[in-house]
Amino acid sequence: MKIHGSCHLRARSLRLTWLGGSAVVAMLAAPAAAQEDGTSTADIIVTGSRIASPALTSPSPLQVLTSETLENNGIVNIQDALQQNPAIGLPGLSRTTTANTTNPGLSTVNLRNLGPDRTLVLIDGRRSVAGVPGTAQVDLSMIPTPFVERVDVLTGGASAVYGSDAVAGVVNFIYKKKFEGVLLNAQAGISERGDDRQMVVNGTFGHNFADGRGNFMIYGGYVKEGAVDARSRSFSARDYTSLGTIQRVAGNSDANLTAAQNIFTPFYNPSNVGPGGIFVIGSQTNRVIQPDGTFRAYNAATDGWNRAEWGLLASPSERITFAGRVNFDVNDSVNVFTEVTYSNVVTKGRMEASPMRTDSALGAFTGTNGFYPIQSRVLVPGGNGATVLVNNPFVPQAVLDAATDRTGDGLKDLSFLLRTTAFAPGTRTIPTERDNFRAVLGTTVDLGSSWKFDAYYQYGFTKQNQSMSGLANLYNLAEGLQVITDVYDFDRDGSTTDAVCANADARARGCVPINVYGAGKLTQEMVDYLEVSMQRNSKQSMHVAAANLTGTLFNLPGGPVQIAVGAEYRKEESRDIFDPLTNAARNGYVQLTDTAGSFDVKEAYGELVVPILSDTPFFQSLTLRGAARMSDYSTVGTFYAWNAGVEWAPVEDIRFRAVYAHAVRAPNIGELFAAQAAGIVTITDPCQGITLSTQGAIADNCRAVPGILANIQQNGSFTLTQADLSGVGGITAANPDIREETGKTLTLGVVINPRSIPALRNLTFTADYFDIRLEDAISRVPAATVLNKCYREGLADFCQFVTRRTEASGAYSIGSVEQVVRGLINSGGSFSRGLDFTLNYSHQLFGGTASLSGAWTHLLKNGFRALTGDPYDNTMGELGTPRDSVNLGINWANDDFGITINNEYMGPQVLDYENFQTLYRLADGSVPDSKYFRIKSKIYTDMQIRFTSIANFEFFMGAKNMFDVKRPPVWGGLPGNVNGTYDVLGRRFYTGVRVKL
């Protein structure tokens, strides 16, 4: 498909918000009429098919987003435009969900909320290399937005046409193919709060050569997006927890009604782990050492540390992109082309200062529950093996006197957990650089008699270099904490009163004695000895070679029987390499292990379109479609995908369509080859609040754990701190026996375009029913499932994956969860069923063109089964999966002026019922009214105005979230991804200019 540029900048009608524009959808509905109007009859390939035909129809629901839409909405990152599509769910990764993680700046897409691994991202119908190590997820921030001609969003399984991963559907970025002239763009933006500063500058140059037989295009762009600090918004400036989660009583109690009523009430709940640390001293837990050497119990009002203010709501980034395309007709039958794109993204995440601990799998003393000696037996030089007991001189006398021997080695010991705020700049920073490269070389050959051949080779890679500062070398911490007074002048400095490391080998390695006994005790020398940065280097690469043959087999009364056959070879490699301390869980924060692997796949496919009838009463057209693909993976073997469909137009104004697809997704490299790793997760503990008198199976199962029982006996109920719930070790186990998953998709729809009625010929309405069933879904068992299986259902097979503390350690309470192992499995499946409606209309009005477009998705079912045989877990209407999502766009434009208003509606949502609401049961066993767990609907409005009265220039300005709609009050302890669901940045403004010569 050749797209010719124009040297004139014309005023635009509504540039197709999510439904595509009226003109495009009308073409999909009635191609014959388009030909009669004199539009191009050139063969066009529609996303979802490999067959080229002027009869441009889509058997599956297809929504189109054009370059004009991107311009009219001031889009900087193309993910922002995609997220306005009601068919697209929560982003797996986005600028506002990754700023406080080890993946800052990534952007992915998630059709139908089935997971980003089940949405296949294409560029011009060809796969793109992944941007997330070990996955098939493409980083959308690498897509050069101004280079995009349109985006096709195909919902429904498409594995038969495109291969693995197209279970939920396909997002196909169509790049501009032929452009002549110069196009320059500049845009700047800022939020109402003075942050989120954005600057965009790019240019495109295109030129024909060889008497129009060839064309080349080059593009260069620069984008800068500023940081948004968490402290700059009231909802994220402090460590807020839901008051209701604190008030909740375990078991059945009418007190839970009050708790439910306070679910959305914030309660300041700072971390008990601050710069001065929190200690276990003898039998006394949660102790703070004061400047005078005495110690006392932790007091949240005076000792609490506000983690929230140090993080980011949105990470900053700078992006440079270059792209080029050369297209040349060798003769009337042969065309060759090459495309190259390169993007470089630099971003920096930020998190609060890291915890530095002595206990757990991420602590310095893993074999002693985090306790380490503050006394040492020192050999007397020349004493024939005699030893003398020497105390740690840094430990205050009051602490030493109160300490006891908790490990049974005859030495007094302590455990602690503190923040590394002494490590400059007092936070963890995560500088990250990513490079993405893609090159394609291909040819198309017109063989005559409707037969065409095309082939291409593509190579791409994504490289990432990342670090995280502010971490601690636990090997050095373990050695540096064991300190003695140098009574025998081991360091030969002439002093017998200074502090030295107790271990002689450690001293030989340059060990520095560490003093953590009170805020401000760490010196720069100590910091230099302890501080390390995590290092990560990853690379994904993809080689693809493919060939396709399309043409007409023969003619039927309804038209030509068309076929497409092809073969494809693909090889993918991924490596994700970390520094040795991170591999060994010795950086105090996380364990990430090296993952490297590869696979190749050989595929063959065929597609057939059979027009049965046309131009007969009640059968303007009747067409059958089918496609099948065989995939032979080097990892999981051979499997098949297929689809079958029918289209029936009783008259030219109405077309019915139906498609059934059997789609398949093979496990990716990370799912097959990743080793076990450890990180930090937040949990809801089903045992929290249980007392000695609480009745029921859950209470019995919880009290059977010695640590939980001891906690209840100490506190009256099972009591946990913020650290106990948000500092849980999450172990991700690999599964080399994981197998492919299968998706079964049914779509039934109608397209109405009343072209026979002049006043309505620009109206297009579509309605589609979809039903997606995902079987053997590859997923990681949620921590909530593991805990509920163990304590709610009493299944010992799951209790083995939960480790609880047998005694208090550092900031952690006795009985709290130390770690949860989360295995990778083929689960019981996922389900999504609903209705999609789209409406587009344009009409001449008040001397210009007025346009209306809307899209509405209404869910009928959405949920999953965590494990085979488990009861269905409904997610429809829960946070992140609204039952109703609507996008409505209004536009008016003439030759001098244009205005676009876009509205996004998200229906009311509730908090997770099965795993959260049911924790609030009343005395009679019922759950409080769902209104207490409901989040109200939200409407976001964006607007842009444009001035086009000066030839070749367009000036524009706009606002996003124009009415400054606030983020809902979803506080800590509540389930769901609130920052991925709602706008968290508030009202923002932008302005810019476009020049086309």
For range 345-355, the mean pLDDT: 93
What the block records as the tokens of 587 is 């950086």
Distance between terminal CA atoms of the chain? Answer: 23
The pLDDT value recorded for residue 43 is: 61
User: Which range has highest mean pLDDT (149-153, 438-442, 720-724)?
Assistant: 438-442
What the block records as the tokens of 907 is 């229906």
The per-residue pLDDT for range 580-595, each reduced to its tens digit, is 999 998 998 888 889 8
Residue 857 CB contacts under 8 Å (≥ 6 apart), including other chains: 86, 87, 834, 835, 836, 837, 884, 885, 886
The per-residue pLDDT for range 433-466, each reduced to its tens digit, is 999 999 999 999 999 988 999 999 999 999 999 9
The pLDDT value recorded for residue 407 is: 92
The per-residue pLDDT for range 872-913, each reduced to its tens digit, is 899 999 999 999 999 999 999 999 999 999 999 999 999 999
Asked if the model's pLDDT at residue 19 lies above 80, the reply is no
Identify the CA nearest to 178 among candidates 440, 322, 3, 338.
Answer: 3
Which amino acid appears at position 771 of this protein?
D
Q: Are strands 817-822 and 728-732 parallel, antiparallel or unpaired?
A: parallel
Q: Residue 21 — pLDDT band, cuts 50, 70, 90?
A: very low
Q: How many CB atoms lie within 10 A of CB 876?
A: 19
- β-pair partners for 529: none
pTM above 0.85, yes or no: yes
Cα distance between residue 774 and residue 156, in whole Å = 12
Identify the residue whose tokens are 């078991």. Answer: 251
Cα distance between residue 727 and residue 682, in whole Å = 6
DSSP character string of 366-434:
GGGTT-EESEEEEEPTTSTT-EEEEE-TTS-HHHHHH-B-SSSSSS-EEEEEEE-TTSTTSEEEEEEEE
Identify the residue whose tokens are 């477009």. Answer: 853
The pLDDT value recorded for residue 11 is: 36
Instruction: Output DSSP code: residue 111.
Output: B
Residue 486 CB contacts under 8 Å (≥ 6 apart), including other chains: 493, 495, 496, 497, 498, 499, 500
The pLDDT value recorded for residue 856 is: 97
Cα 131 to its chain centre, rounded Å, is 12
Asked if the model's pLDDT at residue 118 lies above 80, the reply is yes
The pLDDT value recorded for residue 868 is: 86
Identify the CA nearest to 679 among candidates 737, 731, 624, 618.
Answer: 731
The pLDDT value recorded for residue 42 is: 55
Instruction: Output DSSP code: residue 117.
Output: G
The pLDDT value recorded for residue 1 is: 34
Query: Are the beta carbons of 153 and 169 closer than 8 angstroms?
Result: yes
Identify the CA nearest to 10 among candidates 895, 947, 944, 899.
Answer: 895
Query: Are the beta carbons of 497 and 486 closer than 8 angstroms?
Result: yes
Delineate the domains of the chain, giving CATH numbers in brackets. Answer: 45-233+310-352+429-446+617-667+738-781+827-996 (2.40.170.20), 272-298+353-426+447-608 (no CATH), 672-737+782-825 (no CATH)
Identify the CA nearest to 850 among candidates 899, 905, 806.
Answer: 899
Cα distance between residue 925 and residue 923, in whole Å = 5
For range 693-700, the mean pLDDT: 91
Ranges of beta strands (E only) in 117-265 are 119-123, 126-127, 148-155, 169-175, 181-191, 198-209, 214-225, 228-229, 240-242
Query: Are the beta carbons of 341 and 321 closer than 8 angstroms?
Result: yes
Cα 343 to its chain centre, rounded Å, is 20
Asked if the model's pLDDT at residue 170 lies above 70, the reply is yes
Count of positions (residues) in the chain: 997
Query: Are the beta carbons of 114 and 120 closer than 8 angstroms?
Result: no
The pLDDT value recorded for residue 403 is: 97
The pLDDT value recorded for residue 542 is: 97
The per-residue pLDDT for range 283-318, each reduced to its tens digit, is 999 999 999 999 999 999 999 999 999 999 999 999
The pLDDT value recorded for residue 485 is: 95
The per-residue pLDDT for range 207-230, each reduced to its tens digit, is 999 999 999 999 999 999 999 999
The per-residue pLDDT for range 747-796, each reduced to its tens digit, is 999 999 999 898 899 999 999 999 999 999 999 888 889 999 999 999 99
The per-residue pLDDT for range 54-86, each reduced to its tens digit, is 555 777 888 888 888 889 899 888 999 999 999
Q: How many CB atoms lie within 10 A of CB 312?
A: 25
The pLDDT value recorded for residue 31 is: 39
For 696, the 3-state DSSP assignment is coil
